[in-house]
Chain A
Amino acid sequence: MGDWKTITVPVLSPDSKNIFPYTSERKRSPTSMNSQVLRLSLPSSKNMHSFYGAFCTEDNIEQSVSYIDRELTTLGFPSIYAESKGKELNLISIINCMNELLVMQHKNLRAQEEVEMQHLKLGSDMDHLQNCYAKLKEQLELSKREIVGLQERDRQLQSKNRNLHQLLKNEKDEVQKLQNIISSRATQYNHDMKRKEREYNKLKERLHQLVMNKKDKKLAMEVLNYVGRADGKRGAWRTDKTEARNEEEMYKVLLSDYEQRQKQLLLENAELKKVLQQMKKDIISLLPPQKQKPKERSEDGLVLSDQEEDIGELNKENMWELSCETVREQLTNSIRKQWRMLKNHVEKLDNQVSRGHSGVLNEKDVISREDHELETEKLELEIQQCKEMIKTQQQLLQQQLTCDDETTLLLQDCYLLEERERLQEEWRLFREQKKNFEKERKSFTEAAIRLGLERKAFEEDRGTWLKHQFLSMTADYKSENMTTPSAFLRSSDPDICLVKSASWQRKPPSVLSPTVSPEPCQISQYITQNRVASEKPAADNMPNLCVESDDKEEIE
């Protein structure tokens, strides 16, 4: 390990290059020394590579190997030496160890990467947190400053408020002072005025005396003749009697005035009483007839009824002529009571109206009201449902109106479904018949082929027989005894030959058609045979074949 250390130090110090612990790039160094050393993906610089070379040289191979073995064993790897022989390296174990080491290295790299990632994340988180912290600090600072500012303002406003209060107080004091000053000055002025007035009076007195003295000499008034009094009476002396009469007259005047006023007031009173009575009647009529609550206020009720009876009696008499205190009080009290009742009633009505009721409070109405509510709810629900239905129907209608082709097809499909099914059934039947017919045709063709072959064979036989015959005939020609049947045969031979040739000629172009035409007899046979099987469809098959083909064409 000392080697390691001594080697690492010169690596770091003289090397100007920094070791980047986070780079995980593989570096290849082209030193020849490394060709023996495995390329590692450790953080490396050139010196490190030289270091790799420095570890194991040609001289200390054994030591280095043993060292490596020791290290590996300490790390838990199996020994790289061969089993017990020592000095011989177990290549397999070496390779295994190397592999293990590589795997370890990979793992470590991965772990390192992860750690690096985490480190990065944590670093960014840290940055983020630091930023947040810085922002919050700023905010805190700002709010602190704001608080300080607001406190300052608050203090200023409070001091202003205090100042204003003080000013107000001062003003009030001043006002008070001024009022006092005014009152004191007023008294002073009054005093002065009085003094001056007294002086003035004195002067007036003096003057009066002087004037009076002078006046005696002159005649103050000159009248040509006396004028009669306006009312014709003569002037009277001033005596006590006259004084008394004066007083009397004065009091008479006053009394008459008072009487007049009293009359007016009585009239007014009467009017008002009448109005009150009217009002009372109206209020009573307005109130609901629920005044039968004698149990609650039995005593009061009795008293009231008595009072009301009294009032009623009084009403019968000329009530407005009685203006005694009690009657008046009774009237006003009764009116007040009625008014209160009316007010309560109106308030109750208002409450009911606010709850949604209009009308007189009655139990029946309450129930019906609830029913009414339920009904209205039901109706509302119904209305909603109907509306929804209408909506859906409308939507459907809309859909129907908008997409035509599909619906028409669908409609047609609906309407033609039956027909289609019918048609399908018929088709099935047709197909079956077609199959049958095909089978028959096949059989016909086979039969026709067989027939053709038989004919061939027959023709060949005939030919040979004719040859024989001819030969024989030539032989026999000599003998002129030809039987007529041979003439028949002869006649038939060319017929046969013709037929043969014709048939041969006819055969190649089409197999069916000749088979069809000459076979009607056979076909008829078959047909008769088939007729046994199926009469109608066979007969129909013929014309229906075309139809079928037509159908086929159509459908296809």
Chain B
Amino acid sequence: ASCVQHRLVVRDASTLQIRQLYTCLDQIQYIEWSSDSLFVLCAMYKRGIVQVWSLEQPDWHCKIDEGSAGLVASCWSPDGRHILNTTEFHLRITVWSLCTKSVSYIKYPKACQQGVAFTKDGRYMAVAERRDCKDFISIFVCRNWQLLRHFDTETQDLFGIEWAPNGCVLAAWDTCLEYKVLLYSLDGRLLSSYRAYEWPLGVKSIAWSPSSQFLAIGSFDEKVRILNHVTWKKITELEHPAAISNRKTIVYKEVEKSPTVDTERLTFPPTRALASSLFSTKSKYDISQVPVSLQYNKPVADRANPKVGVGMLAFSADNCFLATKNDNIPNAVWIWDIRKLKLSVVLEQLCTIQCFQWDPCQPRLAVCTGSSRVYLWSPAGCVVVQVPGEGDFQIMSLSWNSNGDSMLLLSKDNFCVCYLETEEV
């Protein structure tokens, strides 16, 4: 599904054929599929309206108007039948039910990055709240939206919460001024709290491993600390130095290939294809010899939210690899082998890395840097994929299909789908 201005276009994933076309009242800011893929919600924040469309019945329509409360965020509940709207100024979260037309309110939600977290199985929802300058977490049962637990957290300013994939542990971390990670069990007990250091800037990103065995915490000191689920103690620290000297690390460096031009075939005026091929630079991967020193950006000291530290963390689906990005070294993706807890590969790109995501099925990482190429890495090797087309296609973000066969590449105005061939075994 994609939206263009005020229109919602639903296409078939494998053929990109337009299936449905819906028109909304206003410019759509956010769309989300329901978990059973039957409904799509379109949120228009300016108007404060959420419209829901059904795929099965194109005539069916639903409109939710928040009115003067405004709309800041909207999302589906895991059962696909409730919509949670966050009103402006985070006054409240309204839970609209599609089945019963009933409304529930959640008061005092926290205005933080990840204030609402659903468990993977969709049973429970954790909401971060703040009352009287204190942080609380409320755990709701998604089935009937009953409050299960309500407890306070020892954080100064709760920044985010995330459930472990097994749904039993909730990780909550504090603002970056304070390094604190709290782990709560489902019933609200504090299992453990972890604090690496006191004064410098703290946690920047957090990721659970798919087996819930590890919790990776990326912090502003350019290190990733991994906690284990048995003792909730740090098992290792992964450093991101600018100079890589370990001989066992493979460093893939993206190298530009100068385009070869057949001077005989030049015509005037040059055809479009020729022009694009002339100006689009190709690149390939080269293996650099260790020791390698990467491009290091010293952070500006007097700005808030400096581009320092580990900003992106992602575990691979098979729990074997962890991909990280150190914002000081914006061109490199670091891939760590979790079984050995060692750095195995570094991908050095030409441009700043915008986004990377693991294939949900295989240990395959797709990286985009804002150029018109998407980079794929797997333990077998890495490859540069050029998006064919005219002009520049600057890939800003990408998203894997849940079956791992295709990938969505998004630029500012366009998107394209990249299909990956599966080997016939």
Chain A interface residues toward B at CB < 8 A: 179, 182, 186, 190, 193-194, 197-198, 201, 203-204, 207-208, 210-211, 214-215, 218-231, 235-236, 238, 242-243, 246-247, 249-251, 253-254, 257-258, 265
State whether A220 and B103 are in contact (beta carbons under 8 Å apart), knowing that A250-B186, A254-B185, A257-B167 are contacts in the complex. yes
A228 to B39, CA, bound (A): 12
Q: Nearest chain B CB to A297's CB is how many angstroms away?
A: 38
Within the complex, which residue of A194, A224, A253 is in contact with B123, where a contact is CB–CB below 8 Å?
Answer: A253
Within the complex, which residue of B60, B69, B168, B187 is in contact with A215, where a contact is CB–CB below 8 Å?
Answer: B69
Within the complex, which residue of B68, B79, B98, B168 is in contact with A214, where a contact is CB–CB below 8 Å?
Answer: B68
Contact B144 A221, beta carbon cutoff 8 Å: no
Contacts of A249 in B (CB 8 A): 123, 141
A182 to B149, CA, bound (A): 36
Chain B, range 262-279, C-beta contacts under 8 Å to A: none
Chain B's closest residue to A218 (CB) is: B67
Chain B's closest residue to A195 (CB) is: B133
Within the complex, which residue of A220, A228, A254 is in contact with B168, where a contact is CB–CB below 8 Å?
Answer: A254
Chain B, range 122-169, C-beta contacts under 8 Å to A: 123-124, 130, 132-133, 141, 143-146, 148-149, 156-157, 166-168
Within the complex, which residue of B59, B96, B168 is in contact with A253, where a contact is CB–CB below 8 Å?
Answer: B168
Contact A197 B67, beta carbon cutoff 8 Å: no
Contacts of A210 in B (CB 8 A): 68
Per-residue CB contact flags for chain B residues 32-66 toward chain A (1 = under 8 Å, else 0) read 00011001000000000000000000011111111
- The dominant DSSP class at the A interface is helix
Kindly state whether residue B100 has any CB partner on chain A within 8 Å.
Answer: yes
Within the complex, which residue of A190, A207, A229 is in contact with B156, where a contact is CB–CB below 8 Å?
Answer: A190
Kindly state whether residue B363 has any CB partner on chain A within 8 Å.
Answer: no
Kindly state whether residue B101 has any CB partner on chain A within 8 Å.
Answer: yes
Contacts of A250 in B (CB 8 A): 124, 141, 148-149, 186-187
Contacts of B91 in A (CB 8 A): 204, 207-208, 211
Contact A194 B133, beta carbon cutoff 8 Å: yes
Contacts of A225 in B (CB 8 A): 60
Among the interface residues B66, B96, B146, which one has the most CB atoms of the partner chain A within 10 A? B146
A257 to B123, CA, bound (A): 14
Q: Nearest chain B CB to A266's CB is how many angstroms away?
A: 13
Chain A's closest residue to B103 (CB) is: A220
Chain B interface residues toward A at CB < 8 A: 35-36, 39, 59-69, 79-81, 87, 89-92, 96-103, 123-124, 130, 132-133, 141, 143-146, 148-149, 156-157, 166-168, 177, 185-187, 199, 230
Contact A257 B101, beta carbon cutoff 8 Å: no
Contact B81 A230, beta carbon cutoff 8 Å: yes
Contacts of A251 in B (CB 8 A): 187
Contacts of B186 in A (CB 8 A): 250, 253-254, 257
Within the complex, which residue of B89, B166, B199 is in contact with A207, where a contact is CB–CB below 8 Å?
Answer: B89
Contact A204 B187, beta carbon cutoff 8 Å: no
Contacts of A253 in B (CB 8 A): 123, 167-168, 186
Contact B124 A224, beta carbon cutoff 8 Å: no
Q: Which 7 residue pairs are nearest across A and B when measured between Cβ atoms?
A: A257-B168, A194-B133, A227-B98, A211-B69, A246-B141, A222-B63, A223-B62
A265 to B229, CA, bound (A): 12
Contact A230 B36, beta carbon cutoff 8 Å: yes
A227 to B144, CA, bound (A): 16
Known: A220-B66, A258-B168. 5 other contacts (CB 8 A): A197-B130, A223-B98, A226-B100, A246-B146, A257-B186
A179 to B103, CA, bound (A): 50
Contact B92 A221, beta carbon cutoff 8 Å: no
Contact B89 A222, beta carbon cutoff 8 Å: no
A246 to B148, CA, bound (A): 7
A249 to B187, CA, bound (A): 11
Contact B68 A208, beta carbon cutoff 8 Å: no
Contact B69 A247, beta carbon cutoff 8 Å: no
Contacts of A211 in B (CB 8 A): 67-69, 87, 91
